């Protein structure tokens, strides 16, 4: 095997797998703490938010990505008693981990904001302005940027976040990860 494909004995594979689930739970705890400090009040057709839910959503994207890593680790079958991890092309690849997580999670875990169409007559199923819990959203939240083609006109803004939707996603992902974590510990204790 090449150095890009390290081999882990079962004990080390179990350790990194359970550690990944533990870190997801820790990230979700941090997101819950940040969300608890956010206050929302409805005023007619709009909501006034006190506090900034975007950092919570950014941390949530880390949890989603790590869930993709967990799914990759879980998919591995031992060969000759070892788990062979494609470290470069799978374990460390942000897009692959997000794709794996987002395609396996329920929809309520994949969005941090539902897009709103300005024209109710317009419908194109290939066009949406939902904010997905992915790498691009994380970059938009944590890093300042601008459009280099219109640098003096259009700054890039952080995505909008629906606090209620984020709370639902966090709770659902917590339940999924907690179930997987307990199952993994139970299997480990049986051995």
Query: Is pLDDT larger for residue 31 or for residue 189?
Result: 31
**Angle CA 46–51–55, to nearest 5:** 110
- Give the Cα separation of 2 and 43 in Å (integer): 60
Q: Give the model's pLDDT for residue 115.
A: 67
The answer on pLDDT for 1 being more than 50 is no
Q: Give the model's pLDDT for residue 30.
A: 96
The answer on pLDDT for 3 being more than 80 is no
The answer on pLDDT for 54 being more than 80 is yes
Q: Are 36 and 166 in contact (CB under 8 A)?
A: no
Residue 11: burial class (beta carbons within 10 Å; 0-12, 13-18, 19+): exposed
Q: Give the model's pLDDT for residue 56.
A: 94
Q: Give the model's pLDDT for residue 155.
A: 58
Q: Give the model's pLDDT for residue 126.
A: 46
Give the model confidence (pLDDT) of 174-189 as tens digits.
999 999 999 988 887 8
What's the predicted TM-score (pTM) here?
0.85
Q: Residue 41 is inside which H or E element, if any?
A: strand 39-43
* Mean pLDDT confidence for 12-20: 95
* Mean pLDDT confidence for 2-30: 91
Q: Are 131 and 159 in contact (CB under 8 A)?
A: yes
* Mean pLDDT confidence for 82-102: 95
The count of residues in the chain is: 191
Q: Give the model's pLDDT for residue 151.
A: 64
How does the average pLDDT of the chain come out, rounded? 86
**H-state helical runs in 37-93:** 54-75
Q: Give the model's pLDDT for residue 17.
A: 96
Give the model confidence (pLDDT) of 116-156 as tens digits.
655 444 444 444 568 889 898 898 888 887 777 776 665 56
- Give the Cα separation of 92 and 94 in Å (integer): 6
- Give the Cα separation of 118 and 104 in Å (integer): 30
Q: Are 165 and 49 in contact (CB under 8 A)?
A: no
How many C-beta atoms surround the C-beta of residue 128 within 10 A?
A: 12
Q: Give the model's pLDDT for residue 60.
A: 96
Strand spans (E) along 51-186: 82-84, 111-113, 131-132
């Amino acid at each position: 095997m090449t150095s890009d494909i390290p081999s882990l004995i079962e004990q080390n594979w179990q350790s990194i797998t359970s550690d990944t689930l533990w870190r997801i739970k820790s990230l979700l705890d941090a997101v819950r703490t940040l969300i608890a400090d956010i206050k929302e009040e409805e005023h007619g057709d709009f909501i006034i938010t006190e506090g900034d839910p975007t950092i919570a959503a950014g941390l949530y994207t880390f949890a989603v990505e790590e869930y993709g890593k967990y799914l990759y680790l879980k998919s591995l079958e031992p060969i000759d008693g070892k788990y062979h991890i494609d470290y470069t092309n799978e374990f460390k690849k942000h897009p692959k981990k997000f794709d794996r997580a987002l395609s396996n999670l329920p929809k309520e875990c994949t969005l941090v904001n539902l897009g709103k169409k300005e024209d109710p007559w317009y419908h194109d199923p290939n066009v949406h302005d939902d904010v997905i819990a992915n790498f691009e959203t994380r970059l938009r939240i944590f890093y300042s940027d601008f459009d280099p083609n219109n640098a003096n006109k259009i700054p890039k803004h952080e995505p909008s976040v629906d606090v209620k939707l984020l709370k639902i996603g966090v709770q659902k992902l917590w339940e999924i990860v907690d179930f997987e974590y307990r199952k993994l510990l139970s299997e480990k204790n049986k051995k």
